[in-house]
């Protein structure tokens, strides 16, 4: 959507003599609605948070998985093995999400500056 599409429209009704009538005025969004923020897409913000969480979580899983005290009880599969198994996929998912978001931001920037 263009940035100019949210601009106010000034409507001037003229009478037979070319004078403005009382019903003339501005039509559109109020000033508070017009300047409601930076136009940030909340879904993109959530994706950035998820990507950061995956990367930080992946490193945390690696750190926890290397801890010798994180083994499972008795003869069960050690927890450290499970953590080390999941960690690379969390890192990969977070990194790929960041790369995809950077491409998305680049495409949005190019679309805005194409004019």
The per-residue pLDDT for range 47-81, each reduced to its tens digit, is: 999 999 999 999 998 887 776 665 555 556 677 78
Q: Where are the domains of the chain?
A: 1-36, 40-115
Residue pair 91/53 in contact (Cβ under 8 Å)? The answer is no
- What's the whole-model pTM score? 0.57
For residue 29, pLDDT beyond 70: no
- Quick one: what percent of the chain has pLDDT higher than 90? 31
Q: Which residues contact 58 (CB under 8 A, 6 or more apart)?
A: 87, 88, 89, 90, 91, 94
For residue 105, pLDDT beyond 80: yes
């Amino acid at each position: 959507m263009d940035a100019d599409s949210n601009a106010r429209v000034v409507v001037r009704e003229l009478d037979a003599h070319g004078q403005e009538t009382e019903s003339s005025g501005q039509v559109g969004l109020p000033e508070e609605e017009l300047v409601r923020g930076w136009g940030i897409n909340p879904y993109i913000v959530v994706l950035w948070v998820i990507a950061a969480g995956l990367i930080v979580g992946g490193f945390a899983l690696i750190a926890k998985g290397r801890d010798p005290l994180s083994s499972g009880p008795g003869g069960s599969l050690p927890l450290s093995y499970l953590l080390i198994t999941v960690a690379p996929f969390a890192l990969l998912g977070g990194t790929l999400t960041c790369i995809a978001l950077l491409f998305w931001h680049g495409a949005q920037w190019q679309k805005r500056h194409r004019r």
